[in-house]
Copies of this chain bind each other. A is one copy, B any other.
Amino acid sequence: MSLPAVAVTQTPEAKFREYLATRARAQRFTEQQREMVAYIFSQHSHFDAEELLDAMKRDGIRVSRATAYRTLAKLVDAGLLRRLEIGPRTHYEHDYGYPQHDHLVCTRCKKMIEFQRPEIDQVIRDVCSEHLFQIAGHTLFVRGVCAECNRARGNRRLDLV
Contacts and interface: CB of A to CB of B under 8 A. Distances in A.
A120 interface: yes
Interface string A72-98: 000000000000011100000000000
A159 to B, nearest CB: 9
Q: Which of under 10, 10 to 19, 20 to 34, or 35 or more describes the interface residues of A?
A: 35 or more
A146 interface: yes
A158 B124 CA distance: 17
B147 A138 contact: no
A117 B123 contact: yes
Nearest to A116: B127
Given A136-B160, A137-B160, A127 B150 contact: no
A143 B136 CA distance: 5
For this chain, the copies found in one complex come to 2
A82 to B, nearest CB: 13
Contacts of A133: 104, 106, 113, 142, 144-147, 150
Contacts of A137: 142-144, 160-161
A135 B103 CA distance: 12
B123 A104 contact: no
A105 to B, nearest CB: 9
Contact of A128 (B123, B136, B142): B142
A124 to B, nearest CB: 6
A42 interface: no
Q: Which 6 A-B pairs have the closest CB atoms?
A: A132-B147, A136-B161, A136-B144, A135-B144, A138-B142, A134-B145
